[in-house]
């Protein structure tokens, strides 16, 4: 029997204290300050999983440098539609962050975002030809205005000297650069969001609390069982709306909800390792995020990159990620996570993906078997004169890629993010991890647009949303003047570079 005093009722329950739930919390409380919102986190503090600044690469993904967003089509053209979408989704995040700074909710933009040029760097005639075409297609669009291209090593040496020094001068190379790029400390940003939310009435966050069960009440609300990890005691929250922003933990919770929409989903965990350098005499020679070409068969998010990171005011370099395989869905998760997620309904999609993804499996096995010398060989492609003693290993966050039913192939592996919701939208889960934290604002706007039409949001919520995101409801892809205006304004507030 449950003692009714152990049960509290809220409007919205957010599971997980990462960038996603905290972004949603900020939107909800800005749009409707009267909403009661509770956030539940099983670890001792916020941003300890993928949103931790060292667990991800901190790229403000805007498709400036990530070559996987611009596939080469069979007819030889470069398709830029995905790149455009990712590019303008980052503008939504920029607008949210600028709004919070302007209202005084966050004080110092440099505590979470810093200007760092975004570069792509390729080697060999085929890749150079691709990059040239990519640059031509992108730079013709106002969204990528100002992107530079060169095949001249002395120019590349000016942009990023470490990648040129010691390189064979005979090799054909090319690079693009855009100076408007950013490095983002998503861990710091998550903490800023939470700090701000804690100043607002009707918001509560609790830590070391783990959501263990989700059950439908007869009136359609959700009864959530929360186990305190210190005391072992259970408490209950009844919520009209539940957001499962639990990162790798979202799939198991979605399965526990029992909603039919969850059937057929499975997760494929990919772990990651970085090489990190804090030696300032080296760090000071590199001021860019330099993305290369993915190795054959590798998942898109494993594209190697040599990055400037700015975390807690200190600069470092990060290289990787080296992928790995672990059966954990969270860095702090259990080795049993993958096995516990197996259901009759997702065995077929898992098996189909396993059978059809030979190149991915081969790539992951290769990565797992890599020696330290192999890891530095990969870094040498980007930094020929690297001295291993200046670098050390850093374990990255877990990514759980989505596997789901596909009508034709019976199972498909996806590298993006996906919102899965009940038919009445009273419970929404975010699966997958890419482009990730950069597009948190866009994803959460999407979640809000799907929220139950009655009760939770005021009738004028779109007007209120426009107060936060001035471009809301308009397309920055087609409206060049608005795009330029939004970029100039947010760059000024966030301390980023702008190309007029
Ligand atoms: C190696 C790597 C590199 C990346 N690089 C980038 C990048 O350069 N740019 C970018 O934009 N994105 C990047 N990402 C993606 C980005 O980090 C994620 O998309 C983002 O952090 C996900 O945020 P989240 O809030 O959904 O999840 P998380 O930050 O993982 O937070 C989920 C939280 O839920 C909690 N939780 C889980 N289960 C429960 C439960 N049952 N009860 C209570 N709490 C629970 C967890 O403890 C955790 O704190 C990268 C990710 C990885 C792993």
In a domain, 182, yes or no: yes
Residue 308: inside a domain: yes
Per-residue pLDDT tens digits for 194-219: 999 999 999 999 999 999 999 999 99
Strand-pair category, 266-277 with 392-395: antiparallel
Residue-level pLDDT at 164:
97
Does any ligand 1 atom lie closer than 6 A to the CB of residue 57? yes
Check if the beta carbon of residue 13 is closer than 8 Å to that of residue 21: no
pLDDT of 298 higher than 80: no
Count other Cβ atoms within 10 Å, centred on residue 463: 11
Domain that holds residue 435: 4-494
Ligand 1 mean position, distance from CA 228 (Å)? 21
- The answer to the question of residue 499 being in a domain is no
Q: Which helix (H) or strand (E) holds 173?
A: strand 173-178
Task: Report the C-alpha dihedral over residues 305, 308, 314, 318, rounded to 10 degrees.
Answer: 20
285 alpha carbon – ligand 1 mean position (Å): 30
Tell me how many domains the chain contains: 1
d(CA 443, CA 427): 15
For residue 1, the model assigns a pLDDT of 45
| Residue recorded with tokens 């942009």 | 159
The mean pLDDT value for 27-55 works out to: 97
Q: Is the pLDDT of residue 356 over 80?
A: no
Task: For residue 205, report the distance from its CA to the centre of ligand 1, in Å.
Answer: 17
Q: What per-residue confidence (pLDDT) applies to 300?
A: 67
3 or 127: which leads in pLDDT = 127
User: Would residue 207 count as lying in a domain?
Assistant: yes
CATH code: domain of residue 301: 3.50.50.60
Q: Does residue 368 form part of some domain?
A: yes
User: Ligand 1 within 6 A of 427 CB?
Assistant: no
Note the pTM of the prediction, 2 decimals: 0.96
Backbone torsion region of residue 419, taken as left when φ is above 0, otherwise alpha when ψ lies between -120 and 50, otherwise beta: beta
Ligand 1 atom closest to 18 (CA): 25
Is 42 within a domain? Answer: yes
- The answer to whether the beta carbons of residues 23 and 442 sit under 8 Å apart is no
Is residue 345 one of the residues assigned to a domain?
Answer: yes
- Name the average pLDDT for the chain: 93
Is the pLDDT reported for residue 462 higher than 90? yes
Q: Ligand 1 in contact with 245 (CB < 6 A)?
A: yes
pLDDT at 274: 95
Beta strand extents in 208-331 (DSSP E only):
209-216, 222-228, 234-244, 266-277, 289-291, 305-311, 314-324
pLDDT at 152: 97
Whole-number Å distance, alpha carbon 376 to ligand 1 midpoint, is: 27
Segment 180-185 mean pLDDT: 98
CA angle 201, 16, 13 (to 5 degrees): 50
pLDDT at 372 over 90: no
Label residue 319 by pLDDT band (50, 70, 90).
very high
The set of residues, in sequence order, having a beta carbon less than 8 Å from that of 328 and lying 6+ positions away, is 248, 269, 271, 334, 335, 337, 338, 398
Of the candidates 19, 16, 52, the residue with the CA atom closest to the CA atom of residue 440: 19
- For residue 500, tell me if it sits in a domain: no
Q: Are the CB atoms for 268 and 324 separated by under 8 Å? A: no
If one compares 145 and 415, the residue with the highest pLDDT of the two is 145
């Amino acid at each position: 029997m449950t003692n009714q005093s152990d049960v509290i009722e809220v409007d919205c329950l957010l599971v997980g204290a990462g960038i996603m739930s905290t972004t949603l919390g900020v939107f909800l409380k800005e749009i409707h300050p009267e909403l009661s919102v509770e956030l539940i986190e099983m670890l001792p503090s916020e941003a300890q999983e993928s949103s931790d600044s060292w667990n991800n690469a901190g790229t403000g993904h805007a498709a400036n440098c990530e070559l996987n967003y611009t596939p080469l089509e069979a007819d030889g053209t470069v398709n830029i539609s995905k790149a455009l979408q990712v590019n303008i989704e980052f503008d939504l995040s920029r607008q949210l962050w600028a709004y919070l700074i302007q209202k005084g909710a966050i004080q110092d933009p440099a505590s979470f975002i810093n200007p760092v040029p975004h570069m792509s760097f390729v080697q060999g005639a085929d890749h150079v030809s691709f990059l040239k075409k990519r640059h031509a297609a992108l730079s013709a669009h106002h969204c990528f205005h100002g992107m530079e291209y060169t095949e001249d090593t002395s120019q590349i040496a000016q942009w990023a000297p470490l990648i040129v020094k010691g390189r064979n001068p005979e090799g054909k190379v090319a690079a693009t650069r855009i100076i408007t790029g950013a490095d983002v400390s998503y861990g710091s940003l998550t903490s800023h969001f939470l700090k701000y939310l804690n100043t607002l009435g009707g918001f509560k966050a609790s830590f070391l609390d783990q959501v263990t069960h989700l059950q439908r009440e007869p009136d359609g609300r959700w009864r959530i069982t929360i186990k305190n990890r210190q005391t072992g005691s259970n408490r209950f929250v009844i919520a009209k709306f539940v957001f499962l922003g639990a990162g790798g933990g979202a799939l198991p919770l979605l399965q526990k909800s029992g909603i039919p929409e969850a059937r057929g989903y499975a997760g494929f965990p990919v772990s990651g390792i970085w090489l990190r350098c804090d030696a300032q005499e080296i760090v000071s020679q590199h001021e860019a995020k330099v993305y290369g070409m993915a190795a054959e068969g590798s998942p898109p998010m494993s594209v190697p990159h040599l990055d400037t990171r700015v975390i807690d005011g200190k600069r470092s370099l990060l290289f990787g990620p080296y992928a790995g395989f672990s059966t954990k869905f969270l860095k702090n998760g259990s080795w049993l996570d993958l096995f516990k997620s197996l259901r009759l309904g997702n065995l077929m999609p898992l098996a189909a993906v396993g059978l059809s993804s030979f190149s991915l499996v081969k790539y992951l096995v290769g990565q797992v078997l890599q020696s330290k010398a192999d890891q530095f060989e990969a870094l040498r492609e980007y930094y020929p004169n690297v001295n291993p003693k200046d670098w050390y290993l850093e374990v990255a966050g877990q990514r759980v890629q989505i596997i789901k039913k596909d009508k034709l192939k019976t199972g498909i592996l996806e590298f993006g993010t996906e919102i899965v919701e009940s038919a009445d939208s009273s419970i929404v889960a975010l699966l997958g991890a890419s482009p990730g934290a950069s597009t948190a604002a866009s994803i959460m706007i999407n979640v809000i647009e799907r929220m139950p039409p009655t009760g939770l949001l005021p009738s004028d919520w779109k007007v209120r949303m426009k107060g936060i995101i001035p471009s809301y409801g308009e397309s920055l892809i087609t409206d060049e003047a608005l795009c330029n205006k939004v970029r100039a304004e947010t760059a000024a507030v966030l301390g980023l570079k702008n190309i007029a």
